[in-house]
Structures are given as C-alpha cells and as structure tokens.
Chain A
C-alpha cells in the first residue's frame, strides 16, 4: 500500500492548444477530506477526470495507490460526476441494482438507510425528482461504496443550503477512515469546515496546497477570503472616457 494515495507528476492536459492542466505535481495522503478549489475553468474537472481515468494525460503521470489508472484504480475510486449520467426513466431501486452489479464494495443496506432518511422511495423515478433530490440520490450511491478515493465533482452546486448541509454531513459521517475524499467546488465558505486540506488551482497550476487551519493561522482569514483575494477579478469600469 502506497502511503500517498494520490501522486501526480508533471501532469499536463491539452485540449487542442488550450492548456487545461500544466505540469501539476501533487501528493495527497489517506484519511483526509481535501478541497480542490478554483474558479470556473481552472482545471478542477479535468484533474478529476484524469484521476478516474476518463481522460488520458498529454504528459506526466497519475498514480492512485501506486498504480496507473486502470481496472484496479477504478475499483477503488468512487466518482460523482458534475452532471447526472443516469437515464431519467430509472427508479431508485434500478440504480441500487445497477451499483450492486457494478461495484463489489457497494453497501446496499447503507444506501437503503440513507434513502429512507431522505424520504426517497425505491419506486421514485429520476424524471420526477427535483434537482436537489437528484444530487442527493447520486451522492448516496457514491458514498455507499467502501472506496479508497471518493472524487466528488461539485457535489453542492445548484442545491439549496439545507440540502448542502445534508450532503456535507453525509460526506463527513460516511467516508471510510482510510479513504480520502476530494471535493471540487468554488463554494468554499460552505465546505471549509469539513476540509483538512485545500488545493488551489489557477489556470491549470496548483498555486497553493496547505491545511485549512494552517492557512487560517498564517493569514488570519478564512480560506474563502483568501480565495476571493487570489482570484479577484477586476470589474469592468465602463468604456474609455
């Protein structure tokens, strides 16, 4: 077992001439909740897709538990994409069967308990669910696996604050202790308290990687405030005078 769960060396991804990630070196340990923070277009989703093997790097290397992305790494990664990938005619019970078939580490009982806590019935169809409920359904499925690495791409975007609290507490109480959770988001104020570490991405580069408490200690401000300073955009002041 590699002591570092994730090792990225010189990771680079080009889309045509567009550099989405540019020589990223990063190591993440086990048993941590890590925020992947950056504005839109900074490379968060690209990094997550490279980690789960959906994209191949243009240059550099991804190692998960010491292995290159492949069947082994897929078996230990539980991935929540940034958009829904289930057919909308499916029912909650279909999805549970689906996950049971696909993943040996899927815990049906745990999923059933979480669904009933949320008043989501096995016969409910995705088509009839609200946006927030759909997000919750996907999160329940993803967190019901006993994975080593949970990759959550924008799990709290587009849901109301109460649903956010539910999602964050689900993450806190359900991740397995030797597993690491990587949450990508730009809604930092909401996730800050649950994070051990923060990784700041800007234009495809890691510009900062530190623990949340160390950042607060050094800067005397929250990670959210620091983020706003690093990524401040100068407002357009109108045309020339």
Chain B
C-alpha cells in the first residue's frame, strides 16, 4: 500500500485518514501491533513527529490503544472499527451520488447504474 500525500491539506490529517483506512480494511488487523512510529514515518517519507500526531488522533478516535508493555496496538473492539468503516462507506457513497448528480442522474438512476455495472 502506498502513501498518497497531496499539497493542499495538513500532512498529519492525510496520514490519519490513510492509517484509518488501513485499519478498517484489515491491513492492520484488530488487536494487532502497530508498526513503530519511526518505521511508519520512514515508509511514508514524513517527519516522525507528524506521524506521531496522526497516531495520537487515531488514539483519540479509539482505533488505537497504547499500553506500556505491548506498545501501540489496534483496538480489539471490532464493533468500533465496524462503525468507522460504515461511516467511511457513507462518505464514499455520498461522493458517488453527488458526482452522478452533477452529470444529471437521480439517486435511483445512479443506484441502478451501479447495480448493472456489478452484473457485468
């Protein structure tokens, strides 16, 4: 998985989003140990302090827990991960629907086009 960083927004926010995606998609499974900050920072080519800030946000979001013995781990709470996943899915659907609306499709038409695509 590649890190994609754009120019227009704070780097830590983009890191938070991409780490969140990695957790909900199971790249970092629930209960597993997160790679160390320095390793993640080197992989993304960013400053360790910036990566630290992104991880602190994940902690505040309840997706990651820090304990003294095991370091930083992904939460065991699969439901919490599921809720975040659901919220992200809604955002993606919203993007699709509004994108289709700019092309003049109603929500129903957009949905049926999506189903047809799936049957192909």
Please give the residue numbers on chain A whose beta carbons come within 8 Å of chain B beta carbons, in ascending order. 31-33, 165, 168-169, 172-173, 193-196, 212-214, 216-217, 220-222, 224-225
Q: Does B106 contact A (CB under 8 A)?
A: no
| CB < 8 Å A-B pair total | 54
Cβ A225 vs Cβ B42 within 8 A: no
Q: Does B111 contact A (CB under 8 A)?
A: no
B11-50 interface (Cβ within 8 A of A): 11-13, 38, 41-42, 44-50
Cβ B47 vs Cβ A193 within 8 A: yes
Q: Does B110 contact A (CB under 8 A)?
A: no
> Could you tell me the dominant secondary structure of chain B's interface residues?
helix
List 27 contacting pairs A-B, 8 Å CB cutoff, sorted by A. Answer: A31-B49, A33-B49, A165-B45, A169-B42, A169-B45, A172-B45, A172-B47, A173-B38, A193-B5, A193-B11, A193-B44, A193-B50, A194-B45, A195-B47, A196-B50, A213-B11, A213-B12, A214-B10, A216-B7, A216-B8, A216-B9, A216-B10, A216-B11, A220-B9, A221-B8, A222-B7, A225-B7
Q: How far is the CA of A225 from the CA of B41 in the complex (A)?
A: 23
Q: How far is the CA of A195 from the CA of B8 in the complex (A)?
A: 16
Q: Which residues of B contact A193 (CB under 8 A)?
A: 5, 11, 44-47, 50
Q: How far is the CB of B101 from chain A (nearest CB, A)?
A: 25
Query: Of residues B9, B10, B42, which shows the largest number of chain A Cβ atoms within 10 Å of its Cβ?
Result: B10
Q: How far is the CA of A217 from the CA of B50 in the complex (A)?
A: 14
Q: How far is the CB of A145 from chain B (nearest CB, A)?
A: 19
Cβ A194 vs Cβ B47 within 8 A: yes
Cβ B49 vs Cβ A196 within 8 A: yes
Q: Which residues of A contact B7 (CB under 8 A)?
A: 216, 221-222, 224-225
Q: Which residues of B contact A225 (CB under 8 A)?
A: 7
Q: How far is the CB of B106 from chain A (nearest CB, A)?
A: 33
